[in-house]
Structure 1
């Protein structure tokens, strides 16, 4: 009896945001959460310049989790008005979950520059 083909892994990436008092909105990025579907693997990477106090709401939410957050929980977190997450546009297929999460963190750490610059992953200059 033939087995159905395994579902292709889908990696979803989310930037974790906390409250920014100066702006009155949750706009401070503190980390990136990666979830691999359907395997349920997950990984979080914290931005290095963020202090533990600023990232505490997310650290508390994720502490002790053994399973990846499911779609319903991700939706609840996305609807939060003070500590939210925002799904990132997918990048070219990464080799694995850890690489995808760390690449997203790298992108968040690169200062925005209005001049197109070719990154290590070859994005940037549309004419390049």
Structure 2
């Protein structure tokens, strides 16, 4: 695993730290400003979810390659309560925090690949990848 950054998320400043780290790595890899913004937004959403729902966790950001393609992988993980109903949280407009509900469906749209692995009372790992075009 080629982790370039791993930010522990315990407070709102850590969300900012994760965003900045992701933007810097995306820039280093050659992503344009629009994709940098998409990546930063996705990281922000994932880190905020860790902070709001799990209390703490981490966001790992790494460079990935697959068949000559270069990309950026974001893995948000926590050992919080887990997601009871993944199908429900993936519905547009669904919110438990009173936010806009762009949440995880928004992250899925911003990135090229997206998976959720969550077990009740054990935690959640969300992995997403953006490929360099």
TM range (shorter): under 0.3
TM-score (norm. length: structure 2): 0.24
Instruction: Looking at secondary structure, tell me which structure has more helix per residue.
Output: 2
TM-score (norm. length: structure 1): 0.25
Instruction: Looking at secondary structure, tell me which structure has more strand per residue.
Output: 2
Q: Which has the larger radius of gyration?
A: 1
